[in-house]
Copies of this chain bind each other. A is one copy, B any other.
Amino acid sequence: MNTLRTVTLDNGKETEIFLADDLKDLSAHLGGYGRSVLWVFDTNTAKLFKQLPPVHVVLESGESSKNFTSLERILSTAMDEGLARDGRIIGFGGGVVCDMAAFAASVYMRGCRLTLVPTTLLCMVDAAVGGKTAIDFKGLKNMVGSFYPADEVLICFDTLRTLSEKEFLNGLAEVVKHALLSQDEELYKLLLTKKNEILARDGETLRHLVELSLDVKIWYIEQDPKESLGIRQMLNLGHTFGHALESSSHFGLFGHGSCVAWGTGRALEAGASLGITDKAYATGATKLFKSFGYDMDYRIGRGDWIDFKEHLSKDKKKEAGKVLFVLMEGQGKATLKPLELQMVQHLVIAKPIF
């Protein structure tokens, strides 16, 4: 178990990100906590254990578990087991499990200890780091939650072995997004030159990829831990369009990452047509997404527009009632702008520009 990075967020609270050599190394670390620990799994990650730890909650896998019912299940189990404020909740799974475990830890007795073990690429490079916790509410993503950084995040690439191609690509979309937002071009270049190694999940390449991706996220969140200074919001690149697609297709049709890839494509198009984003940059970035197989040309049906627009209007990034979109001014440089509804409509249901 080696320290990969240390993130210092709000109020000096530190999150230690560890890299475990293998599952045995991971187990040894977690086994050290003994009692006063509650584990949260989903039906997929629970299968990784021959015998589950004594105190645990297993959530149905998938986005539909990210709700108040799951929250109450975790809190209720914690109380039944007499978990104290110095007890620990361990989230062992992907984004849904980690978001649920973290939200529960943040409100149980107003905050207990928290360990996250992200088992998907998406969760490793995004959800598990940065302290955003959330549940979906009334059909909208992440509407209720808190800021509560984990005490530690344990990454073990062995947990990725059984990850489906689709799930892997879900995570990779956030990595490509980070590559665009990075202050240097190292990650972008890695994605351009090591496509085959990445898709083959080569250990050394994966470690490099995750480290560079984490560095981008950490750069933004350390400057603006609570997303109150207009810096951290840039990490939402592709998410305004993406969440609306994800919500309006009821979390089923596309994975989160694919929606973000698609949404980033729309944001690049918007920026290009407004003269904010260099056209060649937009074309190159779109090509990079396409090289990994993302459907950047997808358009919603005319009949789905009302629903899409409705979900868009519920976005959390608003100023004077107008939804704000993250647009790219160039490598590592983003800006927040409202967009005319007509343009949005054109972007999501018209033919692609690139």
Of B85, B108, B144, B319, the residue contacting A144 (CB under 8 A) is B108
Of B79, B111, B132, B137, the residue contacting A147 (CB under 8 A) is B111
Instruction: Determine whether A11 belongs to the interface, using a CB cutoff of 8 Å to chain B.
Output: yes
Q: Given the complex of chains A and B, what is the CA–CA distance between A148 and B241 in angstroms?
A: 31
Cβ contact within 8 Å between A79 and B140: yes
A314 to chain B, nearest CB (A): 7
Main secondary structure of the interface of A (DSSP, over half): mixed
Cβ contact within 8 Å between A145 and B107: yes
A126 to chain B, nearest CB (A): 16
Cβ contact within 8 Å between B137 and A75: yes
Q: Given the complex of chains A and B, what is the CA–CA distance between A226 and B226 in angstroms?
A: 17
Instruction: Indicate with 1 or 0, residue by residue over A104-141, a CB within 8 angstroms of chain B CB atoms.
Output: 00111111000000000000000000001110011010
Q: Given the complex of chains A and B, what is the CA–CA distance between A108 and B146 in angstroms?
A: 8
Of B68, B109, B226, the residue contacting A143 (CB under 8 A) is B109
Cβ contact within 8 Å between A110 and B146: yes
Interface residues of A in 273-328 (CB under 8 A from B): 313-314, 316-319, 321
Instruction: Determine whether A186 belongs to the interface, using a CB cutoff of 8 Å to chain B.
Output: no
What are the residues of chain B within 8 A of A147 when measuring CB–CB?
A: 110-111
Cβ contact within 8 Å between A82 and B11: no
Q: Given the complex of chains A and B, what is the CA–CA distance between A171 and B321 in angstroms?
A: 40
Instruction: Indicate with 1 or 0, residue by residue over A217-244, a CB within 8 angstroms of chain B CB atoms.
Output: 0000000001100000000000000000
With A84-B316, A84-B321, A85-B316 as given contacts, are A111 and B226 in contact (CB-CB < 8 Å)? yes
What are the residues of chain B within 8 A of A227 when measuring CB–CB?
A: 110
A32 to chain B, nearest CB (A): 17
Cβ contact within 8 Å between B318 and A84: yes
Instruction: Determine whether A43 belongs to the interface, using a CB cutoff of 8 Å to chain B.
Output: no
Instruction: Indicate with 1 or 0, residue by residue over A39-72, a CB within 8 angstroms of chain B CB atoms.
Output: 0000000000000000000000000000010001
Cβ contact within 8 Å between A79 and B226: no
Instruction: Indicate with 1 or 0, residue by residue over A145-162, a CB within 8 angstroms of chain B CB atoms.
Output: 111000000000000000
Instruction: Determine whether A167 belongs to the interface, using a CB cutoff of 8 Å to chain B.
Output: no
15 contacts between A and B (CB under 8 A): A11-B11, A75-B143, A79-B138, A84-B321, A85-B317, A85-B318, A107-B146, A108-B143, A108-B144, A109-B143, A109-B144, A109-B316, A110-B146, A111-B146, A111-B147
